[in-house]
Each structure stands twice: as C-alpha cells, then as structure tokens.
Amino acid sequence: MADVIEYKNYINGRWVKSKSGEVFENRNPANTDEVVGVFQKSNATDVNEAIAAAREAFKKWRLVPAPRRGEILYRIAERLVKEKERCARDMTREMGKVIKETRGDVQEAIDLGYHMASEGRRLLGYTTPSELPNKFQMCVRQPKGVVGLITPWNFPMAIPSWKMMPALVCGNTVVIKPATDTPLSVYNYVKIIEEEGIPPGVVNIVTGSGRNVGEPLMRDKDVAVISFTGSTEIGRFVSEACATDFRGCHLEMGGKNCILILEDADIDLAVEGALWGAFGTTGQRCTASSRMIVHKDVIKDFTDKLVSRARALKVGNGLDESVDMGPAINEGQMDTVLEYIEIGKKEGAKLLCGGERLTGGEFDRGFFTMPTVFGEVSPDMTIFREEIFGSVTSVTVCNSLEEGIELANNTAYGLSASVYTQDVNKAFQAMRDIYTGIFYVNAPTIGAEVHLPFGGVKNTGNGHREAGIAGIEVFSEWKSIYIDHSGRIQKAQIDDIT
C-alpha cells in the first residue's frame, strides 16, 4: 500500500482532500490483489464547495467567446492523442475491458473533443424574416449555468466527454461525479483539462458514492441541469429529484437490444456482429446485442456458428493483447449475471455454452464469467425481457420479417437494434418499424459515432440525446431576439403594415 497513489478531488482549481477525511480503494477487477489507487470518499460539504466554485466561475466563463472556449477543447483533444496509451492502460486496470477497447474509449473522447471544439465557431442559431417592416429577428443559444454530471463505469472517459465537452463549449461550468468503480479515468481526463488551461472552478470533480455525492448534487437548486447515465431505476430517482424545482434533467439509461437475422443474411457476417455486439466490453454496454432474433430457415446454421465462436473466445486480463473478453466490473455485477443464467435455465431456456464463473489460476483473483449463449428463448422469459449487462446473449426464432419486428419491439427499452439482410426493401422496413433511437444494417447494435445523436426511446431515456449537434441541446437554452428599428411601436399580428 505504500506505493499506492491517493487521488484528490478537484475543486476551484485545486486538488484537495475530502472534508470527510476518508478514502476508498479502487481495485482491478481482473486482479483484485492490485489496488489501482485510493480516492476521496466525499460528502455533501465537498459537493457544496464544488457547486459554489462552479457557480462563481460561471460568471466569467459564460463571457469567454465561444471560439476561445472551443480552442481549449481542441487542445484537450490534442493532449489526449499523446496520452492515449497511458489512459487506456489505466482504464483497463480499473474496469477490466480489453486494451483495444479502452483505446477506443479514449479515442471517443478525442473525437468528441475535436467535434465540440468546432462547435465553438458554430453554435448555430438562425434568423428569419419579420412579418413587420424595419424589424430584425434571430435566435441564439445561451448557457444554462452549473451542470451536474453523473457518469457510469463502462465508458469512463468517453461518456464524461459526451457530457462535459458540449457543456463547456456552450459556456456552462461543471461538477462531475464519476462512478466509484472507475474514478481514475475521469481523474486523468480532468487533469489534462486542467493542464490545458481551463480556468479555476469551470470543471470540478468530486469522487464518492451515489448517496453521499450523487444525491446532494442532483438535489441542489443551484445545479441547472443534471446529466445522468446509468440504470433506469436510478434514472427515475434522478428525474424525480430534478422535477420539484423544474430543473433540467437528461437521462441515458438501459437497453435490451436485438439483432434481427433474416433468411437471406450473410450468416458469417451476422455471427461476427453477434460476437462483437454480445461480448464486447463483456456485454457491459447499454447497447449490447443481448437478443438474437433469427429466421427459422437459418437459425440452426447461425446458432451452431455462434456457439462455436463464443466457446473459442479467450477470457482474461484485458492488458493481454490476445484476450477477447475481460472480467465483470465487480463481484456484485458478476453475481447478477450468474443469477440471470440460473433464471434462464429454470425458465426453460437451453444453455448452449458458458453459464459459469471461470475459476482456477488468475481467474480466482478476478470476476470472470464465460461467454454464454442461450437457445430456445421465448418472449415471456426473463432473459428475453430484462437487461442483464453481462456476457449473456439469447437466440429466439421468428418466422418472418414482420414477426421479427414485433419481437424486436417487445421490450420496455428502445436504444439500439440492427438487421442482417441482403434485401434493401427489408432493411428499410425494419429501419422504419423497429422503434429505437439507433439502428444498424448489417452491423451489430454497437458502434455509434460521435457526430450523430446517441440515445433511445421508452425506458431508455427521457427524450434528450448525446453527441452530435443534438448534444448541445441539453446544455443550452434558446433565446429569441427581436430588434425593431422602425422608430415606432409595431404590434405583431395586429398592425396594418400597409
């Protein structure tokens, strides 16, 4: 423990310890003997100080020209390019996903930084002609104020960037609470932000639990908007906390995403997509491909190949370049996955491969589960309906495109879906009729890019989107401006302009 680094909160431009005087450990889920670092076990006093700093900093930051704000974001992205490997390795150590994926996580933060830096020279409003003479009118964006960000552990740098970069370019100030399982990645990000010239108080990080940090952050009336990514259960709690004061609330929550494989699909391509979609990030993605809905004519061929490939996946420490799948994030998540596997077996689903915790050797020091595939899964089964967030996927038969679409929509969520087909007409029908915020053709349900909106419908979200131009909507308010240079009072919809 003598070599373990203690990381501090960042409040008003200073790295400080929590007022609680307590810390918590961050351990490697692939090797729990390794303590990645110790972090501040913060409380409401720390949160209040961070909010006060952000509120004061907002007075000046909102007046910094947006192009200048964008230039800082550009420098942050450039710095991340140089620090990509270090940040990726730290991320694998603290959350387990394989190194090629954590490099991609950092790359998303780079891409988002470049994208939002360019918005500093856009932040588009628009003008329209007035119905009255000698009158000019336009609308512009203005920042909301202090924003609170509550971020998850599965994409511990990408998702903070989705929230923080648009918030900053719009002129807001930020208090971020990272997930307790992955505070180091957010620390690394904020450290770079500090070193690239963000003014004191504009960005603040407070580590700790949802109860002691997240709850006071979401309930503070000085926080104009909360942006949260996590479970639907906690998202509902966040929404209720913001609703009493009519404050802004942006929610990105669960998913139960499906790949629809039709009879004319390229089966080998579909199997590749299913493997990546189901077991990438150990299935710990809100966009994970956790349901395979397969036409009866090709279900045997598809299932046989999927099971064969799933059995061949190499599981282990994500720092090993040859590993395909890492551990669950923590013991609780691993146990949840194993419980769902037992539920699937009890309800009559056919376990085709996997289904157990991996043990022995290095596996005993981590939270490893086998890549698991269930067959003969019906729509009334729990594993078809509920989000598992782990290395489990299921195969369900359909008899037609129309039935496949109906099964795809048979979920409380609406984040992502995909179809594999060689028929453009079927692709467009599925694209139109499957009700999700994201849709893919001949690709898995993962792979979003930062310049298109990210989010979903139904229990997946509350109507907002991240990334793309839509990402700035959460963090800006519209202001309509009318400039009358006629020299007299003109009454819209009333005056006779002749």
Q: Give the active site residues.
A: 252, 286
Residue 149: φ, ψ to 5°: -115, 125
Place of tokens 């003014």: 199
Residue 323: φ, ψ to 5°: -80, 140
CA–CA distance, 464 with 218 (Å, rounded to integer): 17
- For 432, residues 6+ apart whose C-beta sits below 8 A from its C-beta are none
Residue 476 identity (one-letter amino acid): S
Q: Any idea what the Cα angle at residue 293 is, between residues 287 and 296, rounded to 5°? A: 165
- For 274, residues 6+ apart whose C-beta sits below 8 A from its C-beta are 259, 261, 289, 292, 302, 306, 393, 444
Torsion of CA 232, 350, 305, 310, to 10 degrees: 60
Dihedral angle sign, alpha carbons of residues 304, 375, 259, 228: negative
DSSP letter for each residue of 388-421? --SSEEEEEEESSHHHHHHHHT-SSEESEEEEE-
> Which one-letter DSSP state was computed for residue 199?
P
- Residue 483's alpha-carbon distances to 136, 138, 141, 197, in angstroms, are 5, 9, 17, 37
Instruction: Identify whether the C-beta of residue 66 lies closer than 8 Å to the C-beta of residue 171.
Output: yes
User: H or E stretch including 350?
Assistant: strand 350-353
- In 3-state terms, what secondary structure has residue 380? coil
CA nearest neighbour of 392 among 268, 256, 270, 261 = 256
